[in-house]
Amino acid sequence: MTDEELPRSLVRPAEAYLDHLAVERGMSANTLGAYRRDVTRYLRWLVAEGVVEPQDVTRRHVTGFLQALGTGADGGHPLAPRSAARTIVAVRGMHRFWTLEHLTETDPAREVTPPRPARELPKAIRVDQVTALLEAVPTDTPAGLRDRALLEFLYATGARISEAVGLDVDDVVGAVRGPTGAGPDAGADPSGDRGEGDEESGPAVVRLFGKGSKERIVPLGSYAAAAIEAWLVRGRPALASQPGTGGPALFLNQRGGRLSRQSAWTILKKAAERAGIGTEVSPHTLRHSFATHLLEGGADVRVVQELLGHASVTTTQVYTLVTADTLREVYAAAHPRARA
């Protein structure tokens, strides 16, 4: 906790909960940071309500906090139902932890259920829009080669942006090699440009580390493999040669350090603008498009689940609703008796 106004009697048990999530549950740094913000906001609410000890929290305090999240009555920004639900999940988890660790006798949050957000279908863009997006990136500079490789990689693997920027060079296995690689690929034109005669130079896969540091192996398509090889051969050495650099990160920034999530988002946004894509495009848009296009091409939903790194197939099945909507639209437009 960084808020010095919070009493240690609340901060210490909260820190114990966050340490439990990090060490025993293996929660990622990004998720842990979100939980920390949620818990800190909750502790501020408790202090404002006159609570300074965990055992003094009642269900009324928890439900009051839930209501305040939607209105901003606690002094924070009003949250949408989905964000409020995530915050209450963190709060419920903390109270459950306190009870199991005998810091409190009862769990006041046990019967408090988070709001059920409206089900939103993931937004995907069309295949031709993806192609325009990727081909809008110029590859005549080291940064351009990196940008093209990053975007090709995101669409080819469906990786989360945090997974992509967290990759090291050694996580890419197979046909992709650096400037010292031997064989015909090292001397071939590795521009990554699409052509009718492109052929696979061999199998290439990438090791992705998802939520909870769970590892999965995802194949790289020929376009992504070529783009990454172009980056490794012609682009990355220029950025990695700067003084004080040369780390293992696959994607480097202009100073030779690891590319950040924010920079990756900016790269995608600029490419979408150059391609003239009117809808808002985010790194998750490419992930959604990856899954949707696989299912439209006949892939089994459980295969897509494995590729995305979803723990439950239920999470993946939402993409089948997207393809079903597409089928309904095509039917309504094409069938002579679909409309009155």
Of 291, 300, 314, 47, nearest to 156 by C-alpha is 291
Helix axis angle for 283-296 and 261-275, nearest 10°, is: 60
> What is the model's pLDDT at position 185?
38
Q: Are residues 196 and 269 in the same domain?
A: yes
On whether residue 120 sits in a domain, the answer given is: no
Decide: 124 and 292 in contact? Cβ < 8 Å: yes
Catalytic residue annotation: 160, 211, 284, 287, 310, 319
Of 19, 46, 42, nearest to 32 by C-alpha is 19
Of 100, 116, 135, the residue that ends a domain is: 100
Q: Quote the mean pLDDT of the chain.
A: 81
Decide: 279 and 123 in contact? Cβ < 8 Å: yes
On whether residue 81 sits in a domain, the answer given is: yes
Highest mean pLDDT of the ranges 122-136, 138-152, 154-168:
138-152
Of 100, 117, 151, the residue that ends a domain is: 100
Whether residue 55 has pLDDT greater than 90 = yes
Q: Which residue has the higher pLDDT, 190 or 60?
A: 60
For 289-335, how does the pLDDT look when each residue is reduced to its tens digit (9 = 90+)?
Answer: 888 888 788 877 777 777 777 655 565 555 555 555 554 555 466 55
Give CA–CA dist 217/309, Å, rounded. Answer: 9
Angle formed at CA 154 by CA 152 and CA 155, multiple of 5 degrees: 65
For 37-52, how does the pLDDT look when each residue is reduced to its tens digit (9 = 90+)?
Answer: 999 999 999 999 999 9
Q: Are residues 243 and 283 in the same domain?
A: yes
For 182-234, how does the pLDDT look when each residue is reduced to its tens digit (9 = 90+)?
Answer: 333 333 343 444 444 444 444 688 888 877 667 788 888 889 999 999 999 99
For the domain that residue 302 is a member of, what is the CATH number? 1.10.443.10
Of 102, 178, 183, 152, nearest to 264 by C-alpha is 152
Q: Are residues 96 and 139 in the same domain?
A: no
On whether residue 113 sits in a domain, the answer given is: no
What total number of domains does the chain contain?
A: 2
Q: Are residues 182 and 251 in the same domain?
A: yes
> What is the model's pLDDT at position 118?
62
> What is the model's pLDDT at position 218?
84
Count of helices and strands (H, E) across the chain:
14, 3
Whether residue 129 has pLDDT greater than 80 = yes
Of 114, 124, 81, 75, nearest to 319 by C-alpha is 124
The 10 Å CB-count burial string (b at 16+, else e) for 56-78 is ebeeebbebbbebbeeeebebee
Q: How far is CA 225 from CA 20, 59, 138, in A?
A: 39, 54, 17
Give CA–CA dist 53/15, Å, rounded. Answer: 14
Q: Supply the DSSP symbol for 168.
A: B
For the domain that residue 70 is a member of, what is the CATH number? 1.10.150.130
Decide: 303 and 272 in contact? Cβ < 8 Å: no
Of 91, 64, 95, 67, nearest to 79 by C-alpha is 67
Q: Are residues 236 and 273 in the same domain?
A: yes
Q: Domain of residue 79: give its range.
A: 8-100
Q: Are residues 163 and 19 in the same domain?
A: no
